[in-house]
A and B are shown apart, each in its own frame.
Chain A
Amino acid sequence: MEEKIGVYVCECGPNIADNVHIDRVLDAVSGLEGVVVAKRHKLLCSEDGKKFLKQNIEEHGLTHLVIAACSPKLHELTFMNVCEEAGLNPYLFQLANIREQCAWIVEDKEEATEKAIRYTRAAVSRIRYHTPLEKKEIESNPDVLVIGGGIAGIEASLLLASKDRKVYLVEKTSSIGGMAKEFKQLFPKMEPTSNILEQKVQDVLKNENIEAFTDTKVEEVLGFFGNFVVKVKKKTETEENEFKVGAVVVTTGLNLFDPTKLSRYGYGTLSDVYTALEFERMNTKGKILLKNGNPPKSVGIIHCVGREEKGYCSRVCCLYSIKFARYLKAEIPVVNISQFYSDLCVPGKSYQRFYEETKEEGVDFIRAQDIEVTESNGQMSVNYKIESRKPKTEHRNVDMVILAPAIESSGDSSEIAETLNIHQGDEGFFTEEHEKLGPVSTSLEGVFIAGCAQGPKSIPDSIVQAEAVAGRILSSLIPGRKLEPEVKISEISDAFCIGCKTCISVCPYSAIVFDEIKRISVVNEVLCRGCGNCSAACPSGAASHKHFTFRQVYQEVMEALR
């Protein structure tokens, strides 16, 4: 079919007309091959303008449409809708920006006109090579796999499960509840953990839309957003369980930094040095006692254990260390407590008051450096330097030392990252899609992260993230609704692909897989978001972006530079 290109230049009132000779733009494109009509209009985005365009498309039987007007950010969608209404594939339309990029910024009207001509001719040159792109719809499964049965996994499961959405909750240990069930009380209100957590665990177990697997590991996750196939295996069984889900949530929690790596704190060598988790357990299970069976008379709590080694602040240690002082004062009112800290990190609306109230109960807060725990003649002592003009070393005798070790990513993070094909940061936590705007999504569509799997955080923040994951999934994976993947994506030519896998290494969305039989790369049309990395990197010219083909871009650039 012979192409019939229509070119329409918008005056945008005086905005373009005052600084671009529009008639000269029209003259410059009228003679171009395939252009059957070139007209101007006062304001194409107005209702009148849209009607005018629609009539023109129909009247002239246009096969391609070029509009020279404002930024595509503003009205590309407006004009694409006009095309659709007029029965023209919206990808056979190109918008040349002669307002923001010409009329508004080039002072000299002659120069602005020249630039506008080049832009408009470039658009005409390119559009000849446009092909119609069609929207696709794919079936999707609304069910969800949640990996990790801690508080974040529990919260996500409870929000997601419903009569038309099943949740598979997979926990590697023998029970759900995660680390929070070790905590007797929570800062800052010192509320017992068990009441609420137990209730939530029961809610999970009773929920007929949640299938909880304990002692179970995720072996394999294949597929993509809307259509994952998951294999899990129970420790005690040899058979694998397989099921289909549309999304995956990773709530695998945290590990604590191992303080034996830092011998100066005496952990593992001195008898009454405990980690925070050990102290929590001691307090939850019974009395706070030394190894000799006596209650401690003086306790040193050391913050930031492993912070320097890890290179980040773990966010919650200051607060739970303050909470420990409350535990101690409640059990042993006469106990002396010294907190050794570097910077007090108590962000948020209620935490500073918690600190101040605890301090008033007679807890010492010592800003200390170079902390070391030693023992001589059966007496433990915390030695430290304080800030002053001349370095000054001090010490305090204590019966018990509690260490607040840094929060690390869970031990199996690398394995999970590999199974799911998601990224980990240098610190080992899973990387979010965007630091600010995508805190719980990952670069792989359909895979989400929440809680300490994403980075160190408090219980309320972990729960918020779990709820956020539910928000993301409930708004995008709707029972009965088909998914509409991005239309402007990449494709890889079977014939030209040499199987070098360069494209796979540059794809940020894990959207390209390697076909081992044909020895070529293949684009997953659901996952591809059309960033164009692969087509730029492909050494053989096999990868190309459907709406930015080499030919389209070449023709556009050559015409602009003519």
Chain B
Amino acid sequence: MEEKGYNADVLVIGAGIAGIEASLLLSRSGRKVYLVEKTSYIGGNVIKYEEVFSNMECATCMVAPKQQELLQDKNIELLTLSEVETIQGSFGNFVVKVKKRARYVDLQNCIGCSACFEPCPVSLKNEFEQGLGERKAIYVPCPGALPNVPAIDTENCLRFKKGEDCQLCKEACMFEAIDFTQKDEEIELKVGAIIVTTGFTTFDPTKTPQFGYGKLSDVYTAFEFERMYASNGPTGGNIVLKNGESPKSVAIIHCVGRKEKGYCSTVCCMYSLKFIHYLKHKLPDVKISEFYSDLCIPGKSYQKFYEKMKETGVNLIRSDGIEVSEEGKGMVVKHKSGTGEENGLAVDMVILAPAIEPRPDAPELSKVLDIPQDTDGFFTEEHSEFASVCTPKQGVFIAGCVQGPKDIQDSVAQSEAAVGKVLSTL
């Protein structure tokens, strides 16, 4: 590429579904791809879902072949536990500094047998499981995570944090895969273009105390409920209350944080309807009430899904002024109808659908990349109508929820679009 005066390689930041799709397409075209991922695994948020709307396909089964393909792709250099620190240069000639944290487990030698977890004396809440399950200081986030190689969490490992001479994990490993001498690395990459696919997080519902999250025991976020339903999750897929019993009645509250954020997050109505399927599948007699303001089910196939879910006998209540409080052994959802009538509904479990928002590290990344964020914190496209995957900075593209809330289909389309832009211009 020297003679052309530019570099055709591409950096993709974030290995969620958008980043994976973009990397695979670029590799197929013959480009060298550096895929930088902050966590120890690939797959992003999609692998947290047991099933996806509206065809209720198993998300892991859908994404795993893509993940495997990516891990075996010789054109793609995957850098896990890595973050972009600085970027210099311009379109065609970026110089990128990446900090790659040590995994302390050798990617080649480890075969993913998980023998190292058991002896680890440290036990803490598993963030991937939204705190509903536990993990060790050497861990993979969930069974089936890829690459299926654990990482040592140095913030909590006795050896790294407290300087103790613990090496129980190393002793348990038959493959000499655990290597305490690994060091963090500074890696310099030269690329011509950058695609940012760092995804989203969800609104913290403790900021809206009326929904009882954090105070009442059986109020869950959508992500928590996803993990509860997941067969590889902390309850093995059983929907249970904190007291160990199955809920008899569940309220699903839409639009949590919508007013605070000032936008509709696009996917909450659909996944809240999907939860009806989850609940009815495991607990056929459960009573379900959905509290919504406006049903947002745009597109050719989503209303059909809504109608199918409606047939299950779910109680769809258009309401506002929702408050969740404790009453006796259970909870009551107070709500106001459109005409101002106030009602209360007793339930055992509440599931909140919180707004999609930019990741907390978005401001930092925006500085590193020198691209703007809009008032909501999402990265700003070059032109909202005609160039939604381009940024004002030439050669830097955005795709997926980093640009704004959207569903998987639209995230994949954007990532393919970013590839289209890269391949047609560089």
Contacts and interface: CB of A to CB of B under 8 A. Distances in A.
A136 to B, nearest CB: 18
B148 to A, nearest CB: 8
B181 interface: no
B298 A436 contact: no
Interface string A312-345: 1111000000000000000000000000000111
Nearest to B423: A474
Contacts of B111: 12-13, 15, 43, 45, 70
B302 A312 contact: yes
B304 A312 contact: yes
A556 interface: no
A459 B385 contact: yes
Contact of A347 (B26, B62, B64, B405): B405
B154 interface: no
B30, B265, B300, B337 — most chain A CB neighbours (10 Å) = B300
Contact of A467 (B28, B338, B417): B417
A552 interface: no
A463 B389 CA distance: 10
Contact of B412 (A311, A344, A439): A439
A417 interface: no
A461 B266 CA distance: 14
Nearest to A158: B424
A475 B75 CA distance: 13
A347 B303 contact: no
A257 B414 CA distance: 29
A471 B417 contact: yes
A159, A191, A347, A457 — most chain B CB neighbours (10 Å) = A347
A467 B302 CA distance: 24
Interface string A288-321: 0000000000000000000000011111000000
A129 interface: no
Contacts of B30: 478, 481
Interface stretch (B50-58, B186-194, B271-279, B325-333): B50-58
Contact of B419 (A73, A465, A471): A471
Contact of A435 (B55, B303, B386): B55
Contacts of A47: 108
Contacts of B420: 159, 467-472, 474
A509 B75 CA distance: 28
A206 interface: no
B264 A346 contact: yes
B285 interface: no
A348 B266 contact: yes
B297 A13 contact: no
A457 B175 CA distance: 53
B201 to A, nearest CB: 15
A437 B412 contact: yes
B243 interface: no
Contacts of A43: 111, 175
Contacts of B175: 13, 43
A343 B295 contact: yes
Nearest to A161: B424
Contacts of A188: 384
A353 B423 contact: no
A6 interface: no
B389 A388 contact: no
Contact of A455 (B109, B295, B300): B300
Contacts of A313: 297-299, 302-303
A436 B270 CA distance: 14
Interface in A386-437: 387-389, 425, 427, 429, 435-437
Contacts of B204: none
B264 A348 contact: yes
A492 B424 CA distance: 40
A437 B72 contact: no
Contacts of B338: 367, 387-388
Contact of B301 (A12, A312, A469, A472): A312
Contacts of B283: none
Contacts of A45: 111
Contacts of B318: 387
B66, B72, B408, B424 — most chain A CB neighbours (10 Å) = B424
A13 B174 contact: yes
A196 interface: yes
A425 B300 CA distance: 9
Contacts of B418: 467, 471
Interface string A143-176: 0000000000000000110100000000000000
A347 B416 contact: no
Contact of A439 (B55, B376, B389, B409): B409
B98 interface: no
A164 to B, nearest CB: 12
A471 B25 contact: yes
A384 interface: no
B414 A468 contact: yes
B127 interface: no
A246 interface: no
Given A196-B386, A349-B378, A474 B302 contact: no
Interface of A: 12-15, 43, 45-47, 70, 73-74, 77, 159-160, 162, 186, 188-189, 191, 196, 200, 311-315, 343-353, 356, 367, 387-389, 425, 427, 429, 435-440, 455-457, 459-461, 463-472, 474-476, 478, 481
6 contacts: A47-B108, A73-B68, A348-B266, A350-B374, A427-B301, A464-B410
Given A346-B296, A471-B416, 12 more contacts: A13-B111, A348-B406, A349-B404, A387-B338, A387-B339, A436-B52, A436-B408, A439-B409, A455-B301, A460-B384, A464-B389, A474-B423
Leading 7 A-B pairs by shortest Cβ distance: A470-B420, A471-B420, A467-B417, A468-B416, A471-B419, A315-B298, A474-B423
Interface of B: 17, 21, 25-26, 28-30, 52, 54-55, 57, 62, 64, 66, 68, 72, 108-109, 111, 113, 115, 174-175, 258, 262-266, 294-304, 307, 318, 337-339, 341, 374, 376, 378, 383-389, 404-406, 408-410, 412-421, 423-424
